Amino acid sequence: MRRGHAATSACVDTVSTTRQASADASGAAFCLRLLETPPVQDYPSTHSVLGAGAAEVLKRSFRTDRVPFSMGSLTALEANPVRSFDTFTQAADENADSRVRAGIHFRFATEQGNALGRRVGSYIVEHHLRRR
């Protein structure tokens, strides 16, 4: 059986790298890396900080969180290249969740990243985007 042809399922190792479980010709299971675990500390998730910060600035600028929008991605799966959201917060939450699903962060790192991003976004609006 060839790699990529075998039945697969996701597995996670102890250093938070998501891998793809498969089997070789003998039936022995092995895992293939989907993404390299970056050599960074896990707390907080920078990706989550940036997404939540942007969502907070947009939410405050529009004076509502409920602004439906869609956006495409060059790195998305071919079956779903366009993502649609009802709120900025929904997009930020999915952005953070992607880091957990990719095995780059544990959930607590993305939760803390979202919280920090909201605080930074609030600070930016209050101190740098004021009407004069």
pLDDT band at 33 (very low <50, low <70, confident <90, very high): low
**d(Cα 37, Cα 79) in Å, to the nearest integer?**
25
Structure tokens at 46: 């920078």
Q: What mean pLDDT is predicted for residues 11-35? A: 51
34-46 pLDDT tens trace: 666 667 667 899 9
pLDDT band at 7 (very low <50, low <70, confident <90, very high): very low
CA 59 to chain centre: 19
pLDDT over threshold 60, residue 115: yes
Looking at residue 26, its pLDDT comes to: 60
Reference 60, options 106, 105, 117; nearest CA is: 117
56-113 pLDDT tens trace: 999 999 999 999 999 998 888 888 899 999 999 999 999 999 999 888 888 999 999 9
Looking at residue 74, its pLDDT comes to: 85
Locus of tokens 């070789």: 24
What is the Cα gyration radius of the chain?
19
Q: What are the backbone dihedrals phi and psi of residue 84, each rounded to the nearest 5 degrees, phi first?
A: -120, 140
Q: Specify the pTM.
A: 0.69
Q: What mean pLDDT is predicted for residues 24-31? A: 57
